[in-house]
Amino acid sequence: MRLYNSFSGQTETWSIPSDRPVTMYVCGVTPYDTTHIGHARTYLVFDTMLRYLRWLGAEVQYCQNVTDVDDPLFERARRDGLNWRDLAEQQVERYTLDTAALNILPPTYFPRASEEITGMITLIEQLVEAGYAYVNEGHVYFRITFDPDFGAIARMGYDDMLRTANQRGNNPDDPRKQDPLDFVLWQRGDPDDPTWESPWGPGRPGWHIECSTMAMRYLGPQIDIHGGGNDLIFPHHACEIAQIEPVTRQRPFARFWVHTGMVGLDGIKMSKSLGNLVFIRDALQNHSADALRWYLLSFPYRSEFSYQQEGVEQIEAMLVQIREALDPTFGKPASGSTAYTIDRAADAFLDALDNDLNTSMALRIFQSMSNDIHHAASEGADVQSARQTMRQFAGILGLRLAPPSPSST
């Protein structure tokens, strides 16, 4: 398979291991608001990756975390007068229902940061011992000057890294830090926030160490694919690399770093802070899961695009014909003795997915295969085996394509 690696900036060829499971870690949600289309796009892409790898015969161990130790969750819980654990629980349940509605398969492991604190403390202790981290007034920071390759994944100079980090929550003026870019591994607890006991006093872990700890615990010191939205490349993934490699002494931490592009609305990036979100739950009131899934996968996964409801509506119309083409009761009874074949198109479909998971191309081929089958079935050709292949491919794309129910015709 050919896959684009954000770390090298190149599309690399990957021989999928046959003697061990493929490991994939994808950064999960902070459970304080319902799931929006931008999240859905990311998890759909990795769901399709999972399905495709399985189709190729790989056993995939997929870990996706829940970031339930994070400022936005605590702030929302305070604002709404809720216990943060109750809020997280409620939101995780919604997330699970929303993603299931989109036919996104559950990950093999779904750990919560709040239940993994011990492992995080161990990792931080190892970094302090090795000199990569320092303690100051109950806080522990990662010393970036100890890592000459810090931020290599972002391919930015120091000033750009600092500017980007500051936009994404870094406090460059923290007087306890030796370098403004040093990042928090452990922070002393605010009286209002939940805290855990640690060798440095009560407090809580920083966000970056949460993911590294869970990835290592569930998938091992080296993983095949580490994924997430491209807004996580810096600082989140750069920090993950910096803090885990000195402990495991294995490089690279992830064989492939795979990042999805952001989804916008009317040309502006969809984000909680801007409030311009389209929630999956609402979108599914107006559209079928198949149409939404098709729409979101019709853009190459690294591209950015603006969500447009009309785009989903057009797909809905097209799906009517695709469902009909795959419906065993549609068409004239087969008259000839030779089966209708779609072998060349089927090869092209799989080639598209093999080429950096090009779902956009795969969907176009899928549609044209369906048109051909529709036509052939109307003419009385034997399309049974072609339909079977299409059903398998629909499974890779996560499309249910349930036959039209008699009441809806």
Phi–psi pair at 310, nearest 5 degrees? -60, -35
Shortest separation between residue 27's beta carbon and Zn ion, angstroms: 3
212 Cβ contact list (under 8 Å, min separation 6): 123, 240, 243, 244, 253
Alpha helices of 63-146 — where are they, by DSSP H? 71-79, 84-101, 117-129
**Residue 303: exposed, middle, or buried by beta-carbon count in 10 A (0-12, 13-18, 19+)?**
exposed
3-class DSSP state of 256: strand
- Residue indicated by tokens 């079935």: 377
Shortest separation between residue 28's beta carbon and Zn ion, angstroms: 7
Q: Is 362 in the site for Zn ion (CB under 5 A)?
A: no
Q: Which is nearer to Zn ion, 205 or 331 (CB)?
A: 205
Q: Which is nearer to Zn ion, 27 or 233 (CB)?
A: 27
Q: Which is nearer to Zn ion, 102 or 241 (CB)?
A: 241
Shortest separation between residue 213's beta carbon and Zn ion, angstroms: 10
Shortest separation between residue 24's beta carbon and Zn ion, angstroms: 13
Q: Which is nearer to Zn ion, 29 or 342 (CB)?
A: 29
- Listed ranges 22-30, 160-168, 282-290, 311-319: which one lies at the site for Zn ion (CB under 5 A): 22-30
- Provide the sign of the torsion angle of the four alpha carbons 100, 59, 207, 228, taken in this order: negative
- Residue indicated by tokens 């089927």: 346
Among 211, 291, 315, 376, binds Zn ion (CB under 5 A): 211
Per CB under 5 A, contacts with Zn ion among 26-85 are 27
- Listed ranges 54-62, 145-153, 204-212, 388-396: which one lies at the site for Zn ion (CB under 5 A): 204-212
Shortest separation between residue 338's beta carbon and Zn ion, angstroms: 53
Q: Is 223 in the site for Zn ion (CB under 5 A)?
A: no
Q: Which is nearer to Zn ion, 27 or 363 (CB)?
A: 27
Residue 34: CB atoms within 10 A of its CB come to 17
Q: Which is nearer to Zn ion, 27 or 254 (CB)?
A: 27
Distance CA 134, CA 162 (A): 20
Query: Which residues would be at the binding site for Zn ion (CB under 5 A)?
Result: 27, 211
